[in-house]
Amino acid sequence: MDLDLKPLESYIYRELKIDLSAYKSNQMNRRLNNLIARNGASTTKEYIEMLEKKPEMKKKLADFITINVSEFFRNKELFVDLENKLKEILISNDNKKLKIWSAACSNGAEPYSVAIILDKLSPKVRHEILATDIDSTILETAKQGIYNPADVKNVDKDILKRHFSIYDDGKYILNEDIRNRVRFKKHDLILDDYEKSFDLILCRNVVIYFTQEAKDKIYSKFSESLLPGGLLFVGATESIYDYKKYDFGKASTFIYQKNK
C-alpha cells in the first residue's frame, strides 16, 4: 500500500503540532502506511475520519510518531564515558553550577541518569538540569518518576538502593531528591527557539528520525546554545561526521566539545 499522505501530514501539523517535513520521509511514510493499514483504513481520508471520531486514536498516533523508548544509562559504557568527561572537563573545584539540557528526554530516564551522576560527582552543588520533549504526555510520566524493571536494568545495585524505592507491583519509583533536580518543559527541536549558555547538551536517539537538513539546523543551534568548551552527548548510532562545521571538536566517540 502506498497512500497519499499529504492530507494526513497537514492534519498532524494542525492537530498535533508536529512538523513531519523534518522527519526522514521514506521511513515515516512506510511507518504511517503500516499504521493506517493496521487500523483497517484503506485511504488517508478514511483514517482521518477515524481519528476525528476517536480521540484516543489521535493520542496513539502522536505516540507512534514520537517513539518514546528510553531507559536509565542507555548504552551504559557511553554514560561511563560521559561521567569521565564531566570529571575531566566540566566539574571544577570551585563548585561551579552547571547548566544542562536533555533534549528529547522522553520518560525522564536520561536527565535523571545525569542527575544521579552529578549527585555522585559534586553532591554539594545543585546543578540546573532542563529536560524537554515534544510530547507533553510523556513529560507528565517523566515527572512521576515511576519505572518498570526493564527501564532500570542498567542501574547499579547501590544506586538503585540509594535513589529508588520499590512498589509492591514491582515498579521502581525514583526518590524525590533526584526528581526535584530536573525541570521538565515542552519543547520542539524543529519549531521552537533554543535556550542558551549550556555546559552540556544531551540529544540522543531522536535525530535518527530527522532529515539531513533538519539535523544540520539542530546541530548548528546546539552549537550556538553551548558555552565555549561545552559538551554535546549524542546517541550510539549518531556520530557527527562533519562536526568541525558546527565549531565542535571531538571529546570522545559520541561526545563533542564546542571550541573555546
Ligand X SMILES: C[S@@+](CC[C@H](N)C(=O)[O-])C[C@H]1O[C@@H](n2cnc3c(N)ncnc32)[C@H](O)[C@@H]1O
Q: Footprint of ligand X on this chain (CB under 6 A)?
A: 66-70, 74, 104-106, 110, 133-135, 138, 188-190, 204-206, 235
Shortest Å distance, C-beta 60 to ligand X = 14
Nearer residue to ligand X within complex by CB, 166 or 191: 191
Shortest Å distance, C-beta 244 to ligand X = 25
Nearer residue to ligand X within complex by CB, 143 or 229: 143
| Sequence-separated (6 or more) residues with CB below 8 Å from residue 49 | none
Nearer residue to ligand X within complex by CB, 3 or 22: 22
Q: Where are the beta strands (DSSP E) in the chain?
A: 99-103, 128-133, 146-147, 164-166, 172-174, 182-186, 198-203, 226-234, 248-252, 255-258
Kindly list the distances between the CA atom of residue 65 and the CA atoms of 9, 70, 176, in Å, as whole numbers in the listed order.
11, 15, 31
Q: What are phi and psi of 173, to 5 degrees?
A: -115, 130
Shortest Å distance, C-beta 71 to ligand X = 6
Nearer residue to ligand X within complex by CB, 159 or 218: 218
Distance, CA of 172 to CA of 49 (rounded, Å): 40
Shortest Å distance, C-beta 190 to ligand X = 5
